[in-house]
Amino acid sequence: MKEVTCRTILSQCGLQEFSYSINPYTGCGHGCVYCYARFMGRYGHPKEEWGTFVDVKVNSPQVARKDLEDSKPGRIFLSSVTDPYQPLEGKYALTQKILGAIKDYGYPVSIFTKSSLVQRDLKVIAGMKGAEFWHSISILDEKDRKAMEPGSSPVHERLETLRLFSEAGIKSYVFVGPILPGITDRDLPGLFRNLREAGVREILADRLNIKCGNLQPIMKAIKEHYPDLVEKYKELFVMGGDSFYFQDIKQRMERAAKESGLRVDWCY
């Protein structure tokens, strides 16, 4: 962990739905083996393993207020290349303070996390006009969560977080992504039933994409924890046979979602 300062924190966002993104941290303590944001390691951490470094932008709440004052209103994505509620947020509360600034300036915000720490700010978020909450859940079993998302919140805590946010009247969604073959699809009815019982009505799903150097850590985790899936992952992601699988999983997930009363949209 390293404390750093930043000159600006409100960035133009390349995703069509958002005008801006805010990332109070560089790096992420969740250490998800499939994470695409590991490319951020090239900025000051070229030889460090993803999940082992975090730069804490200690002045980001103050900078956020200046950036928000000087910008045109638009929806903010919190966050795009880090988790705003990763473990260090419990100590620094940067996201909490930034949310206060966003609320004061009246910007709509979409909060994206796989951490139950967001429960701390439930009352603040509930009082923000245009706030949306996105929880990332593509794994139901705790053994899978520890293998693929070692530093993240337990699944039962995330489901409880969804329930609390839904009951508070906050627009809440689940991001089922990336879809991990042989893991996410092991019990789709069970996954979607749990999401529905937590108060979710809509999910967004995305395929596992191989980019930014994530193939090596994915294959390492598969060999260590799922030796029976090694050949399948080689076929899909080394030999390039993944297109058929992800088209087929669309149909399977749509059927399972319909049975659970969920609407599913797709990133691919």
Collect all residues with Cβ–Cβ distance below 8 Å to 134 and sequence separation of at least 6. 110, 111, 112, 113, 172, 173, 174, 175, 204
Angle at 217 between CA 23 and CA 249, to 5 degrees: 85
pLDDT in tens, 17-30: 999 999 999 999 99
CA atoms within a 13 Å half-sphere pointing along the CA-CB vector of 237: 21
| 67-113 pLDDT tens trace | 999 999 999 999 999 999 999 999 999 999 999 999 999 999 999 99
Say if residues 52 and 33 touch (Cβ distance below 8 Å). no
Count CA within 13 A, CB hemisphere, residue 8.
Answer: 10
46 prior amide bond cis, ω within 30: no
Q: What's the mean pLDDT in 191-199?
A: 97
Per-residue pLDDT tens over the stretch 243-267? 999 999 999 999 999 999 999 999 9
Which tens digit of pLDDT belongs to each residue from 225-245? 999 999 999 999 999 999 999
Instruction: Please report the domains of the chain, with CATH numbers, ordered by start residue.
Output: 2-266 (3.20.20.70)
Summarised one tens digit per residue, pLDDT across range 136-165 is 999 999 999 999 999 999 999 999 999 999
Which H or E element spans position 117? Answer: none
Distance CA 187, CA 156 (A): 16
Instruction: Kindly report the pTM of this predicted structure.
Output: 0.95
Q: Give the DSSP H or E segment for 181.
A: none
Is the confidence at residue 14, as pLDDT, over 90? no
The confidence band for 47, taking pLDDT boundaries of 50, 70 and 90, is confident
Query: Would you state the pLDDT for residue 217?
Result: 97
Asked whether the CA dihedral 238, 241, 242, 243 is positive or negative, the reply is positive
- Mean pLDDT score across all residues of the chain: 96
